[in-house]
Amino acid sequence: MYFEQFYLGCLAHASYMLASAGEAVVVDPQRDVEIYLQAATAHGVSIRHIFETHLHADFVSGHNELAARTGAKIYIGEQAGAKFPHVAVRDGFELQVGRVRISVLETPGHTSESICLVITDEGKSPEPWAVLTGDTLFLGDVGRPDLSNRYTPAQLAGMLYDSLHNKVLRLNDRVLVYPAHGAGSLCGRNMRAERVSSIGTERMTNCALQIKSREEFVQHLTSNLPPRPEYFLQDADINRTGASALSDLPQLRPIEAIELKKLMDEGAIALDVRPGEQFAAAHVPGAINIALSGQFASWAGALLGLAASPVLIADSDNALAEARVRLARVGLENVLGYLKGGVASWSAAGLNLAAIPQIDVENLSDQMQRKAVQVLDVRREPEWEAGHIEGAVWWPLDNFKVAPPEIDRSVPVVVHCKSGYRSIIACSLLRRAGFEQVTDVIGGFDAWKQASLTVSAGNR
Ligand SMILES: [Fe+2]
């Protein structure tokens, strides 16, 4: 058996391909499907089957395009109500691919249509080898239960408890666990950074699986839910219908600096995808920075929304193409164009560039002692609760559709996150919202702790 995990850091998403006797199966494909076609060619196999473990909410899946390009069948849980040609699967459905058997477990909970796929490599053993758990079971966590219009989070959390204890945990401890997401995904909370685990390890160490009472489990899962970006329900709908092929997207239009200025005066969004330090040093005034180096697509989807039609600013054609694909992966397709010639063309056209000052943590500590600044922490709640800078104001980047209410516009604001990726995004949004005195902290809270500066813990 051939088996490969494809991990997409930008979305913390894992998809899979397995093959036997020349026939391949792809599970939870990302929107750009070229990687699976290339892998199939490299291994001399044909993609015949595509499984979706559920209707993904955090990205647009490539199942339609992959099916169109290979003739493969798509399999998805019956409860999905999928509107594309598919095989609706239920508990007990089995697919034999060469010497590999794929058995479906219906595991409602994260969503009502969720399934897990138990893989048995009959060439090696009659016992199951691995389970592809989708968003039912992650490494260290389980899927969030609040992405449905049909069921309440409490109802779904109850279903998830039953699915885990009556089905997934009935598997042998040796069975490997391959989930659809890793650390940083908003489909769960506290995922570990590894990419594979086993039923035994999860049984022993996964926080959610240590809760033995159904009632407590429901309580745990429905409190302190992670932020839910608006685009999540839209992506689930796109996936229910099946997205159009990426090749159908129109070419990006080059936009001159003077035209961009006019468009921005009328409210257009300029999205600068360069690294944060470059953006801080010089950028188009009013541009939003979301660098390609981090979880770019999730942040763009969450902060701009799928209806946005941004103009991209990048420093190479490759970066522009990369940004375009990554935006399409979450369903943000209406890119208006790109700034021709990048930031240099802006100043060449006689227009002024803006900058965001950056300071190190020692400098921040001095300024705080002189009470010259207000500190804004834009990390997520669990990070804030695990420790923060005394006196800081907390407003996570996920909430930035609304400006931080406790920040005084007349006092300089210094922004930090964990290591500097999110704080520059926040600085750019604050500048765009009219905050004039905005400074970024180099290295964020990690640098603060490394310099042994005081950390206070506890709730806000
Ligand atoms: Fe999901």
Q: pLDDT of 330-343, one tens digit each?
A: 999 999 999 999 99
Query: Ligand 1 centroid vs 341 CA: distance in angstroms?
Result: 38
Q: Is residue 378 part of a domain?
A: yes
Distance 313 CA to ligand 1 centre (A): 30
pLDDT at 55: 97
CA of 59 to the centre of ligand 1 (A): 9
* 38-59 residue pLDDT tens: 999 999 999 999 999 999 999 9
307 and 426 share a domain? no
Picking from 348, 375, 403, the residue at the C-terminal end of a domain is 348
- Number of domains the chain is built from: 3
Strand order in the sheet with 73-77: 2-8, 13-20, 23-27, 46-52, 73-77, 87-89
Antiparallel, parallel or unpaired: β 87-89 and 100-106: unpaired
Residue 66 and residue 8 in one domain: yes
The residue among 295, 326, 348 that closes a domain is: 348
Residue 237 and residue 255 in one domain: no
Nearest-angstrom CA–CA distance, 278 and 425 = 13
Identify whether 374 is part of a domain.
Answer: yes
**437 CA to centre of ligand 1 in angstroms:** 39
Last residue of a domain, one of 348, 367, 382: 348
Are residues 80 and 208 both part of a single domain? yes
Do 148 and 268 belong to one domain?
Answer: no
Q: How far is the CA of 135 from the centre of ligand 1 (A)?
A: 5
- How far does the centroid of ligand 1 lie from the alpha carbon of residue 272, in Å? 28
- What is the domain extent for residue 321? 251-348
Report the pLDDT value the prediction gives residue 371, as an integer from 0 to 100. Answer: 84
User: Alpha carbon of 335 to those of 8, 33, 332: distances in Å?
Assistant: 22, 21, 8
* pLDDT value at residue 458: 59
Low-confidence ranges of the chain (pLDDT < 70): 458-460
CB 302 within 8 A of CB 59: no
Give the CATH number, domain containing residue 364: 3.40.250.10
Alpha carbon 249 to chain centroid distance?
A: 22
Distance between Cα 344 and ligand 1 center (Å):
41
Ligand 1 centroid distance, CA of 13 (Å): 10
Within a domain: 83: yes
Same domain, yes or no, for 229 and 344? no
* Residue at 458 is within a domain: no
Give 431 Cα–ligand 1 centroid separation in angstroms.
Answer: 33
Q: Are residues 311 and 401 in the same domain?
A: no
pLDDT for residue 460: 45
Residue 387 token pair: 């420790």
Whether 89 and 11 have beta carbons less than 8 Å apart is answered as no
Rounded to the nearest angstrom, the distance between the alpha carbon of 58 and the centre of ligand 1 is: 6
Identify whether the C-beta of residue 260 lies closer than 8 Å to the C-beta of residue 311.
yes
Distance CA 7, CA 12 (A): 7
Q: Does residue 258 fall inside a structural domain? A: yes
Task: Specify if 246 maps to a domain.
Answer: no
Res 226: pLDDT: 82
